[in-house]
């Protein structure tokens, strides 16, 4: 199967929102049904943004017209997962809940593997991933457009495409959708729309949502030159370096003896430097964007049960006093999440301890 793509032509979109309804219907996503439960936001864009129960919205941007006959120009856009080729959300996911399908190119979702860490939300340059409280799984999990993987696997188009009456949404091989988009952009240029452009051909290694933007990128609030944040890139560096290189010399003494004490010392020092960066990056993030960090902590740690908190408090002494400390049972997913949190806890304590010991040693040397 060749890589697929959803094609969106904003010049044909009438903002009927049929695609929104089709997405919710096919994926069994609820909408607020209570009296006055859906609050008026002052715009036709409803809901205002993506949420745990809404994977796709049509955006409404009102632009100033260029004549008295046409004083207002409407830019109707499509906001959902862009399905990046270089998908940072999938690369930072520790549980395998987000996986890029190499055949279709879509980033698929496996909610049963989600541990609720919300790393994907921080890594996405388009601010797409949202979370829902899943009653069946009894936890809060990732929710975003899946590209209707179930439909595509059976030769069908995604639900949103099937519902589009003006044919603003189409589906097919990615190369064909790009060619179709370039042809339409050329036509728009010839017919009085000089800002028209094609979005998605090269961004993030190539998106699998190809968009013809009639009034240009900014009119639809699309991201110019999107890039994965530094934290996502750092995660990819940290995984192989700290896990493979540093750990190799700890668990294989013969290798350490073969390369010599000086080489091992340099490797261990570099490991500490990387560890320092690992602590420093979130610290800088907390200083520069305290509200965002507070949001993460509110959504992550506020959901801990009393059992979670007790487990974390016992984790640090447990490796040293396992004979006397009893750890409560956990299910498989929560066990993995707790273990990861616990290891970070221990690593942070070790780093702080090594720093204090080094400072104390330097102080003793200075007195001599």
Mean pLDDT in runs of 10 for the chain (368 residues)? 93 96 94 80 87 94 84 93 94 87 95 83 90 72 94 96 96 97 97 95 96 96 88 61 50 57 56 57 66 60 64 64 60 52 55 54 55
Dist CA 28 CA 31 (whole Å)? 10
The Cβ of residue 346 has, within 10 Å, a number of other Cβ atoms equal to 14
Instruction: Give the span between the Cα atoms of 284 and 257, in whole angstroms.
Output: 38
pLDDT of residue 332: 45
For residue 34, the model assigns a pLDDT of 80
Q: How far apart are CA 182 and CA 197, in angstroms?
A: 8
Q: Give the gyration radius of the chain's Cα atoms.
A: 25
**CB within 8 A of 328, min separation 6: which ones?**
307, 310, 311
CB atoms under 10 Å from CB of 85, counted, come to: 17
The burial class, CB within 10 Å (0-12 / 13-18 / 19+), for 164 is: buried
Domain parsing of the chain, residue ranges: 1-228, 230-367
Give the C-alpha separation, 201 to 203, whole Å: 6
Predicted confidence at residue 243, as pLDDT, reads 47
Q: Where are the alpha helices (DSSP H) in the chain?
A: 18-26, 88-92, 119-123, 149-152, 159-163, 174-190, 230-240, 247-251, 253-259, 261-288, 290-300, 306-315, 332-367
Paired sense of beta strands 57-64 and 72-79, if any: antiparallel
DSSP state for residue 86 in the 8-state scheme: S
Fold of 1-228: Alpha-Beta Plaits (3.30.70)
How far is it, in rounded angstroms, from Cα 91 to Cα 185? 33
């Amino acid at each position: 199967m060749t890589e697929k793509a959803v094609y969106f032509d904003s010049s044909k979109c009438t903002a009927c929102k049929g695609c929104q309804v089709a997405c919710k219907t096919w994926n069994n996503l609820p909408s607020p049904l209570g009296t006055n439960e859906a609050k008026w936001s002052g715009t036709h864009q409803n809901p205002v943004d993506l949420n745990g129960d809404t994977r796709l919205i049509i955006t409404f941007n009102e632009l100033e017209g260029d004549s008295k006959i046409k004083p207002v120009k409407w830019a109707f856009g499509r906001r959902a997962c862009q399905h990046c080729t270089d998908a940072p959300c999938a690369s930072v996911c520790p549980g395998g809940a987000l996986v890029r399908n190499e055949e279709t190119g879509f980033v698929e979702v496996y909610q049963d593997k989600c541990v609720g860490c919300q790393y994907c939300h921080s890594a996405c340059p388009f601010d797409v991933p949202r979370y829902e409280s899943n009653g069946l799984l009894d936890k809060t999990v990732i929710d975003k457009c899946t590209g209707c993987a179930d439909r595509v696997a059976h030769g069908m188009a995604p639900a949103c495409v099937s519902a589009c009456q003006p044919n603003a949404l189409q589906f097919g091989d990615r190369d064909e959708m790009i060619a179709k988009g370039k042809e339409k952009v050329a036509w728009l240029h010839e017919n009085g729309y000089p800002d028209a452009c094609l979005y998605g051909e090269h961004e993030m290694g190539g998106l699998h949502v190809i968009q013809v933007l009639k009034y240009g990128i900014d009119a639809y609030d699309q991201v110019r030159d999107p890039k994965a944040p530094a934290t996502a890139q750092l995660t990819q560096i940290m995984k192989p370096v700290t896990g493979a290189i540093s750990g190799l010399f700890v668990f294989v003494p013969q290798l350490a003896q073969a390369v010599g004490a000086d080489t091992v010392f340099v490797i261990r020092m570099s490991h500490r430097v990387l560890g320092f960066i690992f602590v420093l990056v979130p610290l800088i993030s907390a200083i520069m964007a305290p509200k965002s960090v507070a949001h993460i902590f509110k959504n992550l740690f506020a959901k801990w049960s009393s059992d979670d908190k007790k487990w974390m408090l016992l984790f640090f002494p447990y490796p040293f006093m396992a004979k006397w400390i009893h750890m409560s049972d956990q299910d498989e997913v929560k066990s993995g999440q707790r273990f990861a949190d616990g290891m970070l806890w221990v690593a942070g304590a070790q780093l702080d301890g090594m720093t204090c010991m080094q400072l104390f040693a330097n102080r003793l040397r200075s007195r001599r």
